[in-house]
Chains A and B, each alone.
Chain A
Amino acid sequence: MVSDTERPLKQEHTELPKLTMKQRRLIKNSILHLVLVSLSALFMFPFFWMLTTALKTPAELLRGTEVLLPATPQWQNFRIAVTQVPFILYLSNSLLLVSLSIAGTLFSTTLSAYAFAKLSWPGRDTFFIVMLATMMIPIQVILIPSYILYAQIGWLGTRLPLIVPFFFGGGSAFYIFLLRQFFKGIPRELTESAIMDGAGHFRIFWNIMLPLTKPALITITLFTFMFVWNDYFGPLIYLSNPDHWTLALGLRAFQNQYSGRFDLMMAAAILVMLPTLVIFFLAQRQFIEGITFTGIKG
């Protein structure tokens, strides 16, 4: 009996460090989950409200906060939002603008950021300040001159003012500055070994900088997607043919019609918002590992 009680004690003693390692990680993870979950509630609330509101009946809306969850979810609210506007048309218009502006942004910002980060050329520092300054002027005061400019070129009524500037860094100072910071953070060892191998700047740019700053490029893609996808003002001002309208602009007509009918307004808002969430989820999945010095050349 005595030995029986002694043995487990001994075992416990020897296994103590191993168990606590596991336990410690378990405790650490639980605490982390707890912190995250409780914080999430604060961040999730607006979406929760949007979703439950979108699914309520008008009668439930009238009762305000008394009703937290709809008795029967009114999924047809989404159908109403989709069918009252030419949804597929607007969706494809949005996708067209989004894909072209992402392509344009990636093209112009990566090249320009490389010039600002890695090359020294006369006027670089002045132009860098000018670039920052373009972000400091409130957009409202340059709206009318820009409109007049596009009218002079003859682009009004076409999609060109909403696409072409992206290929020339229009409104992209933010991204150029961001990428410049990332390019400057790429370890010297990597660029130097490439130079030793006789690589030129285009090769360094294409083979080293772009692959290594993938997280930044994904971030820029995400931001451009979000901006163009949600922007109703640009399409409003520059497009004259309603057949060119985007989802963000097109659904505003629907929301305006039912302003006060929060159920329908939120159904439309969720429809606009969901793709950005999906894109975000996919994008952040790429953020899982750091870079390594080795294996770059391959």
Chain B
Amino acid sequence: MVTVKKQSSLTALKRQEKRLGYVFASPWLIGLFVFGAFPMLASFYLSFTTYNMVGVPRFIGLTNYRILLFNDNLFWPSLWNTLYHVMLSVPLGLVVGIALALLLNTKIRGMGFYRTLFYLPNVVSVVALSLLWLWLFQPSFGIINQVLDPVYRLLNMEPLGWYRDARLSKLTLILMGLWTAGGSMIIYLAQMQDIPFELYEAASIDGANALQKTTRITLPLMTPSIFFNFIMGIIGGFQVFTIAYIMTGGGPSRSTYYFAYYLFDKMIHDNNMGSASAMAWILLLITLVLTMLALSLNRFVFYLGEQK
């Protein structure tokens, strides 16, 4: 009797779903067509024009794309810098964010205070943050090099130049970016609150220790938000710009001249909106392809709502 009722209500729900899907999604769908579509399509059109943002755009076909791909000495280097950044910053950001969240999910006194402290860099003024980074990474008086001084002496090597060394600058900016890992930390913390108690209780009864609980329960059940931060890390990583703008101005030797930085310069300083739009759509295409690849990892994500 129960199963029959269950079956029929399930099929009724299935039929409802098609219609309900649009109903539930309607706020976003309406927003997409009313506010989102025109600006996106307009920028797509502008990528085929020459447009200085004062006069009127003039259609020039694929010229912007051709120039960018074949006759622009900064396009490929800036793309490479960006790829380098994404490849390193995404995994590093995930590890640090998860580690922070695990650390700050323990129940000890003053945890709220600690959590707030670790979130601080996300809200302080950029000036203050950039000064912290200078304090730490400055090659001659920075704290890091002072701490590492004995190591340098031991290995008889020159102190690392960090952001002043073209080989290390991208890495240095990635390390600096870790100070704002508090943003993803809070998402992980939120997800940890949704892990059912019963699972931990059952594990305790089975004699699992803290480490086992973390690796067998917490981490697998955090995969939805890990996956989220992974995808967002890719999307955000491709748009990296501000930190280079503040700390290195794209240098040294254009080693931190990222794609979005170049795009910004084209628009703001060269009045070349056509080319900037073409860059934006190339960026979108690259990000989209990589995101689609990343989405295939979805099958490793452990959604409690979809477990049979």
Contacts and interface: CB of A to CB of B under 8 A. Distances in A.
Please tell me whether chains A and B touch each other in their complex, using a CB distance cut-off of 8 A. Answer: yes
Contacts of A196: 2, 5-6, 9
Nearest to A134: B36
Interface of A: 29, 32-33, 35-36, 39-40, 42-47, 49-50, 107-109, 111-112, 114-122, 124, 127, 129-138, 140-142, 144-146, 148-149, 165, 167-170, 172, 174, 176-178, 181-188, 191, 195-196, 198, 200-201, 205, 212-216, 218-219, 222, 226, 230, 262, 265-266, 269, 273, 276-277, 280-281, 284-293
Interface stretch (B19-27, B66-74, B147-155, B247-255): B19-27
Given A131-B28, A132-B235, A184-B306, A46 B224 contact: no
B60 interface: no
A181 to B, nearest CB: 4
A287 B190 contact: yes
A132 B228 CA distance: 11
Interface in B229-260: 231-232, 235, 238-239, 260
Given A108-B27, A186-B305, A40 B114 contact: yes
B273 A185 contact: no
Contacts of B129: 46
B94 interface: no
A195 to B, nearest CB: 6
A62 B82 CA distance: 39
Given A215-B191, A219-B187, A290-B193, A165 B35 contact: yes
Contacts of A215: 189-191, 193-194
Contacts of B239: 138
Given A136-B287, A185-B305, A141 B277 contact: yes
A177 B110 CA distance: 32
Contacts of B120: 43-44, 46-47, 277
B267 A140 contact: yes
21 contacts: A43-B118, A49-B128, A111-B27, A115-B25, A121-B18, A121-B22, A122-B21, A129-B292, A137-B40, A140-B267, A176-B28, A178-B187, A182-B191, A184-B224, A188-B304, A215-B193, A230-B123, A269-B124, A269-B127, A287-B192, A293-B198
B190 A132 contact: no
Contact of A120 (B21, B117, B292): B21
A284 B189 contact: yes
A249 B225 CA distance: 33
A146 B39 contact: yes
A115 B21 contact: yes
A266 B125 contact: yes
B156 interface: no
A265 B114 CA distance: 27
A292 B198 contact: yes
A89 to B, nearest CB: 23
B172 interface: no
